[in-house]
Amino acid sequence: MEILVVGLNHRTAPLEIRERIDFSKYPADQYLRRLAQSPAVKSGAVLSTCNRVEVYATGPELDQLMKETAEFLASFHGLKIEQVSEFLYTKANEQAVAHLFRVASSLDSMVLGEPQILGQVKEAYFTSCAHSLTDALFDRLFQKAFSVAKKIRTETGIAQQAVSISFAAVELAKKIFGSLSDRTVLVLGAGEMAELAARHLRSQSVKEILFANRTYENSVELAQDFGGIPIPFDQFLKHMPKADIVIVSTAAPHYLVRKEDMDAVLSERNQEPMFFIDISVPRNVDPELHDLENVYLYNIDDLKGIVAGNLRAREQEAARAEAIVAGEVEQFFRGVEKLDLAPIIADLSRKYGEVQEGEMARLRRRLATASEEDLKEIERSMDTLVRKILNDPILFLKEPDAAQPPAQKSELFRQVFALEKARKKNQQ
């Protein structure tokens, strides 16, 4: 059985092509039924995200499987194969398995280590399961991909650190305060980044978010969106002692928060730590605040620097993850070989089991005077004999051998032990 992946992603195809080849616009029933109609496809799954479209399939004939899968990908979207072939990649067997493991582990994603892709791969597989478009090999392949992804996430730091500015700010806040559930946030000004940070903080169930904007109506609007409290802009210093985290993002050309303001604020807070995130350009928080003992101030460049560092760290971790993938691909194929050998071993055991049963029946007729205990002893002895005779050939069959692949060994066994003949006889 051959394993194949045909697809395109953010590296091989421009957005216009990815927009045209997009399965997520259609019901799964429609495209999976069409895929199942391809004679070469025994099982298949379609992974369609904003950055990649891939069809995973298995079938007995690789060339036919490649042709039909690529044609399905193009024709389902009303395109000719020639129109998309330059954007497509095709990987078979070891390469296809490694590719799936890398995709599920987010090693092939635009943002290395992003967590969504594993859920999307799972969804693609479960949708195929729901449409009965899977078999034992396909099940094994995807289950393995999920376990590899989990292993990589737990054993490497690929997904550990934040790679977006707003998330990096939240991570820093958690490093200072631990749980944010009893913390108060003050948002000064508005802006996309401030809103995003507030959204992330809200998702951490912060106790309270205070919004202060020069236009009070904007504060009210934001407060309504985030379930916060609007406060007049000119009173933000009065409210500041309540805030553990302060996000500043205004268009003011000067410092809004100065070092000398902080003495009163910190003493009212009993010197409890404060975390300032200044996303404004020009900066709105006096950089000297960072020199105060219990104040941590990070501006946009600091956060960008952290994100860049985290991305580099993820890239370093990716090398460890790739080594895990290589080992797991090898292990997967060893398991698959055993899966391929299982029918041969079953045929062999069945054939000699039947020989043993026939011989035992003959003995029962011939040795009519023998006691039941003697016959049982003979039967046990025969059983042991058959198992001992078959032991070495089965071990030979299971032994990994680069010179003789499992398919070749299976064929040899079928001929030497005349297993096909035995099967036909059995079927008759």
Partner 1 sequence: VLLVSLIAILLYGAGSALLLLEVLKRFPKVTRYATLFLVTGFGLDTLELIASFSHALMTGRVPVTGPADYYSVFGWVCMAIVVLVRLQFRLPAIAGFFAPVGFALSSLSFLLPDSREPLAENLPGYLFAVHIAMVFVSLGIFCLAFLAALIYLLEHRQLKMKRFGRIFAIFPPLDVLDRLTVRALVLGVILLTAAILTGIYLAHSQWPKSWVYNPKFLFSVATWVWYVLILSLRYFAGWRGGRFFALIVVAFCFLIVTFLGVTAFFPSPTAPRHVANLPRVGSWRS
Nearer to partner 1, 36 or 176 (CB): 176
Cβ atoms of 231 and 188 closer than 8 Å: no
Nearer to partner 1, 234 or 272 (CB): 272
Catalytic residue among 26, 34, 50, 151: 50
Cβ atoms of 17 and 89 closer than 8 Å: no
Q: Where are the beta strands (DSSP E) in 196-345?
A: 208-213, 229-232, 245-249, 274-278, 295-299
Nearer to partner 1, 82 or 293 (CB): 293
For residue 30, what are the CA distances in angstroms to 34, 53, 131? 6, 16, 11
Q: Select from 78, 217, 270, 399 the one that contacts partner 1 (CB under 8 A).
A: 270
Contact between 272 and partner 1 per CB under 8 A: yes
Binding region for partner 1 (CB under 8 A) out of 122-130, 205-213, 265-273, 359-367: 265-273
Minimum Å distance from CB 154 to partner 1?
A: 6
Q: Distance between CA 121 and CA 148 in Å, rounded? A: 13
Q: 146-165 mask for partner 1 (x: CB under 8 A)? A: --------xxxx--xx----
Contact between 313 and partner 1 per CB under 8 A: yes
Nearer to partner 1, 22 or 171 (CB): 171
Minimum Å distance from CB 390 to partner 1?
A: 35
Two tokens at 383? 């059983």
Residues whose CB is less than 8 angstroms from the CB of residue 115 and which lie 6 or more positions away in sequence, other chains included: 106, 159
Binding region for partner 1 (CB under 8 A) out of 79-87, 204-212, 257-265, 293-301: 293-301
**Strands of 89-92's sheet in order across:** 43-48, 52-59, 2-9, 89-92
Q: Distance between CA 200 and CA 378 in Å, rounded? A: 75
- Site for partner 1, residues 316 to 345, rule: CB under 8 A: none
Neighbours of 305 (CB within 10 A): 13
Find tokens 């369609």 and name the residue. 48
Size of the site for partner 1 (CB under 8 A): 27
Neighbours of 381 (CB within 10 A): 10
User: Among candidates 173, 168, 171, which has minimal Cα distance to 111?
Assistant: 168
Neighbours of 131 (CB within 10 A): 17
Q: Select from 282, 309, 343, 400 the one that contacts partner 1 (CB under 8 A).
A: 309
Minimum Å distance from CB 168 to partner 1?
A: 11
Contact between 290 and partner 1 per CB under 8 A: yes
Binding region for partner 1 (CB under 8 A) out of 73-81, 94-102, 270-278, 413-421: 270-278
Contact between 267 and partner 1 per CB under 8 A: yes
Minimum Å distance from CB 175 to partner 1?
A: 6
129 assigned to active site:
no
Minimum Å distance from CB 256 to partner 1?
A: 22
Peptide bond between residue 282 and the one before it cis (omega within 30 degrees of 0)? yes
Contact between 268 and partner 1 per CB under 8 A: no
Cβ atoms of 423 and 347 closer than 8 Å: yes
Nearer to partner 1, 179 or 391 (CB): 179
Minimum Å distance from CB 237 to partner 1?
A: 20
Minimum Å distance from CB 205 to partner 1?
A: 16
Q: Select from 23, 72, 177, 332 the one that contacts partner 1 (CB under 8 A).
A: 177
Find tokens 């020199």 and name the residue. 291
Q: Select from 138, 296, 333, 413 the one that contacts partner 1 (CB under 8 A).
A: 296
Cβ atoms of 65 and 59 closer than 8 Å: yes
Minimum Å distance from CB 116 to partner 1?
A: 22
- Site for partner 1, residues 81 to 110, rule: CB under 8 A: none
Phi, psi for 38 (deg, rounded to 5): -70, 120
For residue 34, what are the CA distances in angstroms to 46, 68, 122, 127, 130? 11, 11, 21, 14, 15
**Active site (catalytic) residues:** 50
Contacting positions for partner 1 (CB under 8 A): 154-157, 160-161, 172, 174-178, 267, 270-273, 290, 293-294, 296, 298, 302, 305-306, 309, 313
